[in-house]
Chains A and B, each alone.
Chain A
Amino acid sequence: DTGVSQDPRHKITKRGQNVTFRCDPISEHNRLYWYRQTLGQGPEFLTYFQNEAQLEKSRLLSDRFSAERPKGSFSTLEIQRTEQGDSAMYLCASSDPGREGYGYTFGSGTRLTVV
Chain B
Amino acid sequence: AQSVTQLDSQVPVFEEAPVELRCNYSSSVSVYLFWYVQYPNQGLQLLLKYLSGSTLVKGINGFEAEFNKSQTSFHLRKPSVHISDTAEYFCAVGRPAGTALIFGKGTTLSVSS
Interface residues of A (CB under 8 A from B): 4, 6, 31, 33, 35, 40-45, 48, 55-56, 58, 91, 93, 100-109, 111
Contacts and interface: CB of A to CB of B under 8 A. Distances in A.
Contact of B43 (A42, A55, A58, A91): A91
Interface in B48-101: 49, 51, 90, 92, 94, 96-97, 99-101
B103 to A, nearest CB: 4
A33 B102 CA distance: 12
A42 B104 contact: yes
B24 to A, nearest CB: 14
B49 A101 contact: yes
B25 interface: no
Contacts of A44: 103
9 contacts: A42-B105, A91-B43, A91-B44, A93-B43, A100-B96, A102-B49, A103-B49, A106-B45, A109-B41
Contacts of A107: 43
A100 to B, nearest CB: 6
Contact of B90 (A42, A58, A102): A42
A35 B43 CA distance: 11
Contacts of B92: 42
A109 to B, nearest CB: 5
Contacts of B11: none
Given A31-B99, A101-B51, A103-B34, A109 B42 contact: yes
Given A43-B90, A108-B43, 5 more contacts: A4-B43, A31-B99, A58-B100, A104-B46, A109-B42
B14 to A, nearest CB: 24
A13 to B, nearest CB: 19
